[in-house]
Amino acid sequence: MSKKLVIKVTAGADSPERCSQAFTVAAVAVASGVEVSLWLTGESAWFALPGRAAAFELPHSAPLPDLIESILAGGRITLCTQCAARRDIAEKDVLDGVRIAGAQVFVQEAMTDGTQALVY
């Protein structure tokens, strides 16, 4: 049985250290061969849009666009349905490889055997 990691990031530019930690952990897990599903909720939802991650800055942290690229290369990024709707974000607006899905899918992923869930 392979190990899986589901990460929900609730923070964006409003809490840059917490936000960066979530993306960093996800990227490191992907690089380590772990199956990763990163969920963008709350203020992190904006990072599903092209160009938004480039404006994110946090000293001594990896650039957010690079982390997103790494995660998408070997894992999955999902934007919360309700969070997208509250921000008028549609499927056509998001980065290639990002999907929009709801709580039912999150719960299904988090409850799968062999899965560890983290919330930032």
8 Å CB contact between 91 and 100? yes
Average pLDDT value over all residues in the chain = 97
**DSSP label at residue 101:** E
pTM of the complete model? 0.95
8 Å CB contact between 65 and 33? no
pLDDT tens by residue, 45-103: 999 999 999 999 999 999 999 999 999 999 999 999 999 999 999 999 999 999 999 99
8 Å CB contact between 55 and 26? no
Which residues, 6+ apart, have CB-to-CB distance to 16 below 8 Å?
56, 57, 58
> What sections of the chain are H helices per DSSP?
16-31, 64-74, 81-86, 103-110
